[in-house]
């Protein structure tokens, strides 16, 4: 049985504005002050993390964090240090929001790190400690770190007929099909209050794992010919990039089609975009795209397109990963079970760029358009 829910909930209709988030942070501090004034042991409540509290929500089609909570009390020797750290991060995030500042999670770590006067105790011993506290805080006030004005490193590129406006930067308006072949460098934070999607003349979003395949599709004018927007993730998608894909999906109702290497690593990139990740299960509603579809590469492509000579042997780590994924609830459907079992038994992988074996253009003139037209997708 889950413990009685102790986190003070805000009105669920409350907008996620910087002002409201700051108010929630202040609420935490005020509760602590009140506890102290009353002579009570101050406490901080957050959600339990880890796989045991992660559930796959069949209806939503995304990973969600369960209801189990953790309470930390100041007068517990095992909790006191983390309690102190939580208060430091809460106050600093409140400062950022009030001053319209943002910081990377490495910066807040460095900003808060110091030796407590007259002791040998450091506030933080490493960034893992401050990172953990940031996650606690996100869960405690039911938001994502981007709305606490915190961010991880940026990665990823955007190209196509989409106009963005940066309200925090002279209201710059720019169309991402008009920046030459480079494209726009996706920011680490991409909140609607700051970056507005002004217009988007595209029929779908194509998410691409490798930067080199992105450059191929730009050169082939794929976005123009197929009326789509290209997003390259450069491997596992960074949070800013996931947030952008989510917003294109939810605000603009654009279908999302994902194109990765044909191996468990690529397939997992897809599943994180679609269902969310276990580590960030609480944030799926901000990040996931449960309607996303997978266009390739599949292991069946090897036979269909005669690519046997350009496959690669799967590494042991990949095979182990495939075996784990077979058991994940969100891979419980026939096509993915078949694909993952094929990976385990045949032990080969196929890269996106291996399609160049047909010709450089092949991916843009045949492979993608035909598969997308026929809706030859994995779910």
Stretch that binds its own copies, among 36-44, 264-272, 335-343, 355-363 (CB under 8 A): 355-363
Between residues 31 and 152, which has the closer beta carbon with respect to its own copies?
152
Residue 78 as a binder of its own copies (CB under 8 A): the answer is no
Please state whether the peptide bond connecting residue 87 to the residue before it is cis, i.e. omega within 30 degrees of 0.
no
351 is annotated as contributing to ligand binding: no
Between residues 55 and 107, which has the closer beta carbon with respect to its own copies?
107
Write phi, then psi, for 326 (nearest 5 degrees). Answer: -55, -30
Residue 184 as a binder of its own copies (CB under 8 A): the answer is yes
Residue 165 as a binder of its own copies (CB under 8 A): the answer is yes
Instruction: Read off the tokens for 46.
Output: 């957050």
Q: Pick from 161, 211, 285, 366: which binds its own copies (CB under 8 A)? A: 211
Between residues 136 and 215, which has the closer beta carbon with respect to its own copies?
215
CA distance 251 to 259: 22
Site for its own copies in 85-104 (CB under 8 A): 101-104
Site for its own copies in 121-150 (CB under 8 A): 122
| Residues classed as catalytic | 110
CA distance 338 to 340: 6
The residue whose two tokens read 């960034």 is 127
CA distance 248 to 162: 10
Q: Pick from 351, 364, 367, 371: which binds its own copies (CB under 8 A)? A: 351
Residue 356 as a binder of its own copies (CB under 8 A): the answer is yes
Stretch that binds its own copies, among 198-206, 208-216, 264-272, 333-341 (CB under 8 A): 208-216
Residue 164 as a binder of its own copies (CB under 8 A): the answer is yes
What DSSP letter does each residue of 320-377 carry, written as one string?
HHHHHHHHSGGG-SHHHHHHHHHHHHH-EEB-GGGGGGT-SSHIIIIIHHHHHHTT--
Residue 113 as a binder of its own copies (CB under 8 A): the answer is yes
b/e 169-187 (16+ beta carbons within 10 angstroms → b): eeeeeebbbeeeeebbebb
Site for its own copies in 288-347 (CB under 8 A): 309-310
Helix (H), strand (E) at residue 285: helix 284-287
Binding residue count for its own copies, defined by CB under 8 A: 54
261 is annotated as contributing to ligand binding: yes
Write phi, then psi, for 335 (nearest 5 degrees). Answer: -60, -40
Distances 378 to 112, 226, 248, 353 between C-alpha atoms, Å: 46, 20, 21, 20
Residue 168 as a binder of its own copies (CB under 8 A): the answer is yes
Distance of CA 171 to the CA centre of its chain: 26
Min dist CB 232 to its own copies, Å, is 9
Q: Pick from 71, 125, 360, 379: which binds its own copies (CB under 8 A)? A: 360
Whether residue 215 contacts residue 239, with contact meaning beta carbons closer than 8 Å, is answered with: no
Q: Pick from 15, 51, 59, 169: which binds its own copies (CB under 8 A)? A: 169
Give the interface with its own copies as residue ranges (CB under 8 A).
101-104, 106-108, 110-111, 113-115, 122, 151, 153-155, 157, 164-166, 168-170, 172, 174, 178-188, 195, 210-212, 215-216, 219, 309-310, 351, 353-357, 359-360
Q: Which residues are annotated as a binding site for Mg(2+)?
A: 209, 261
């Amino acid at each position: 049985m889950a413990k009685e829910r102790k986190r003070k909930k805000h009105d669920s209709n409350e907008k996620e504005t910087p002002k409201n988030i700051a108010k929630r942070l202040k609420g935490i501090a005020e509760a602590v002050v009140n506890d102290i004034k009353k002579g009570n042991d101050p406490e901080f409540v957050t959600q339990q993390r880890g796989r045991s509290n992660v559930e796959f929500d069949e209806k939503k089609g995304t990973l969600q964090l369960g209801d189990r909570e953790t309470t930390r009390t100041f007068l517990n020797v095992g909790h006191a240090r983390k309690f102190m750290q939580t208060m430091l991060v809460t106050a600093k995030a409140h400062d950022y929001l009030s001053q319209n500042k943002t910081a990377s999670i490495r910066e807040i770590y460095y900003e808060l790190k110091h030796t407590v006067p007259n002791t040998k105790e450091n506030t933080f011993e490493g960034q893992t400690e401050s990172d953990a506290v940031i996650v606690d805080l996100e869960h405690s006030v039911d938001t994502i770190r981007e709305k606490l004005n915190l961010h991880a490193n940026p990665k990823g590129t955007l190209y196509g007929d989409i106009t963005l406006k940066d309200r925090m930067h002279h209201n710059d308006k720019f169309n991402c099909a008009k920046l030459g072949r480079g494209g726009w460098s996706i920011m680490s934070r991409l909140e609607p209050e700051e970056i507005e999607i002004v217009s988007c003349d595209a029929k779908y979003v194509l998410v691409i794992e490798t930067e080199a395949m992105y450059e191929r599709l730009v050169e082939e004018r794929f976005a123009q010919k197929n009326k789509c927007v290209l997003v390259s993730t450069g491997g596992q998608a960074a949070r800013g990039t996931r947030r952008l894909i989510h917003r294109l999906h939810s605000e603009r109702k654009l279908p999302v089609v994902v194109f990765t290497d044909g191996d468990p690593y690529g397939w997992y990139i897809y599943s994180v975009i679609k269902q969310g990740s276990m580590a960030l299960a609480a944030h799926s509603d901000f990040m996931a795209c449960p309607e996303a579809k997978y266009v390739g590469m599949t292991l069946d492509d090897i036979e269909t397109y005669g690519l046997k000579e350009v496959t690669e042997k799967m590494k042991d780590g990949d095979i182990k990963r495939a075996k784990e994924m077979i058991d994940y609830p969100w891979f419980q459907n026939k096509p993915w079970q078949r694909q993952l079992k094929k990976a385990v038994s045949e032990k080969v992988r196929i890269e996106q760029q291996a399609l160049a074996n047909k010709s450089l253009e092949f991916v843009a003139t045949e492979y993608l358009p035909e598969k997308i037209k026929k809706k030859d997708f994995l779910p």
